[in-house]
Amino acid sequence: MPKVDRMTRVNELIKRELANLMTTSGFFPTGILVSVTEVNTSTDLRNATVMVSFLGGKASTREEAMHEIELRRVDWQHQLATTLGFKHTPVLTFKVDRRIAAGDRVLELLEKEESSRGGNDTK
């Protein structure tokens, strides 16, 4: 079994706790699904970049959800400090993770190409 380093464990702990805080704090934007996809914490635990992904909804709804996340950032940092008990709780910076949307777009284009060919494969 591969050895998991300290920063990987820290990132996963923060990711899991943030996802839990989002669900327990009543953060449910209408019509979209919000997911914490990745956390990258600096080695000194002073800063953490949190990647969030949105599935569904309009662009304006996703922007409102991101604004709401920014408003709750300090409260969530405080709750993380209480829950995790780190010597230093990182300052959270939230960024939109567009990788899932890009992957969905690629799949959509592949399906469109396949349907335009009529599903005939020449093997």
Does residue 19 fall inside a structural domain?
yes
Does residue 122 fall inside a structural domain?
no
| Cα-Cα-Cα-Cα dihedral sign, residues 69, 97, 106, 8 | negative
More confident residue, 88 or 103: 88
What value does the mean pLDDT take over residues 10-27? 89
Percent of the chain residues past pLDDT 90, beyond the cut? 41
Mean pLDDT, the chain, rounded, equals 84
Tokens of 72: 């709750």
Cα gap 90→121, rounded to integer Å: 52
Tokens of 93: 């910076």
Query: Which residues, including other chains, have CB under 8 Å from residue 99's CB and lie 6 or more apart?
Result: 37, 53
pLDDT of residue 120: 57
Does residue 1 fall inside a structural domain?
no
> Which strand (E) or helix (H) includes residue 101?
helix 99-116
Cα gap 74→18, rounded to integer Å: 12
Domain that holds residue 41: 6-116
CATH code of the domain containing 74: 3.30.300.20
pLDDT of residue 14: 95
Does residue 102 fall inside a structural domain?
yes
pLDDT tens track for 38-94:
999 998 889 999 999 888 778 888 888 899 899 999 999 999 999 988 888 899 999
Does residue 110 fall inside a structural domain?
yes
The overall longest dimension of the chain from CA atoms, in Å, is 61
- The number of domains in the chain is 1
Does residue 88 fall inside a structural domain?
yes
- How many Å is the Cα radius of gyration of the chain? 18
pLDDT of residue 62: 85
pLDDT of residue 103: 66
pLDDT of residue 63: 87
pLDDT of residue 95: 95
Categorize the per-residue pLDDT at 36 as very low, low, confident or very high, splitting at 50, 70 and 90: very high
Does residue 43 fall inside a structural domain?
yes
Cα gap 106→89, rounded to integer Å: 38
